[in-house]
Chains A and B, each alone.
Chain A
Amino acid sequence: MLRNLRNQEFNNTPSPMVPKDWSGRIASLMMLLFAAIAFQRWLESKEMFFILLVFRDVLAAVYFWVRLPAREVSHLTLKVVAYGSAMLPLCYLGGSDSSIELMLITRGLAILGFLISTIATIDLGNSLGIAPAVRGGVCKTGIYKYLKHPMYTGYMVAEIGMVLLNPWNFLLFALSACLYMMRMRWENRFLSERTLH
């Protein structure tokens, strides 16, 4: 109800709205490319992490294609960092899950992380964006009732599994975690300045 009211408020405000969200189409194609790379990585390594990533990326691509036009978008630097951060999980190295315990833990984390981030993607729906932008109100339904940044939480949970699988992945994970933290802070600041929290 509150969200609908917020959407109406935004829609009634006269603003230089772009008629079609071409950036959404570009983001959609990028996500499909990421999905293709993830699929290729899965074929090479047979790691469950990558095949789950394919499903999530395809779902995100669909939402990007139909997403709402943004009233206000973030700075180009933020966008570049966001795309770089979204691409990093594709670079994780595979490993041999010869121990059953290790396989259970890594796959369990991949599944849990996938579930959290996929449900967050569905909850955001056509307001989804890689970089922060104002598209209606702030999402506070579904999993967003319990977690402020479920998407990043999901990614990080799944990525911890990849670190356990191959310790060299820790370097990538450290970089990835730093970028997620930066994105969280930027998003919080961006949205709190522009929307009704």
Chain B
Amino acid sequence: MKSILKVIAISIALGASFQTVVRATDSGGQYLEASMTEDEVILIDLLSQRLQSRQSNGAILFTDEDESQLAQTLTKYIRQTREQMRFSNELLRGKEVMGVKESAEPGI
């Protein structure tokens, strides 16, 4: 019984390690897909639809390098947005704790 539990614990640790390594190595932004919020998914979809329609019209053609750059920019944007949101939430929470009744707009 103890051995089985130890195997489970080690499996969980290995799973967690694997997830960490995957997240760390895949810096191109793909790992974000798994943890994206609904708004982020909608944003990406809209952007890709617009790009596809432009490409099919022959207006813009993307090279692999362009796509890679775009992915990096998006990753950076999402990360910054998340940090801003987290900061705003902490600010709001802090105001609530201090008993200040004025509301603060998140993200401003």
Contacts and interface: CB of A to CB of B under 8 A. Distances in A.
Interface residues of A, number: 23
User: In this complex, which of A100, A112, A114, A115 has the most chain B Cβ atoms within 10 angstroms of its Cβ?
Assistant: A115
A13 interface: no
B55 to A, nearest CB: 32
A55 B12 contact: yes
B2 interface: yes
Q: Is the interface of B mostly helix, strand, loop or mixed?
A: helix
Interface stretch (B20-28, B46-54, B99-107): B20-28
B20 A108 contact: yes
Interface in A103-136: 103-104, 107-108, 110-112, 114-115, 118-119, 122-123, 125
Contacts of A103: 20, 23-24
Given A55-B12, A100-B27, A115-B9, A107 B20 contact: yes
Nearest to A106: B20
Given A107-B17, A111-B16, A122-B6, 16 more contacts: A48-B16, A52-B16, A55-B9, A55-B12, A100-B24, A100-B27, A107-B20, A108-B17, A111-B17, A111-B20, A112-B13, A115-B9, A119-B6, A119-B9, A122-B5, A123-B2
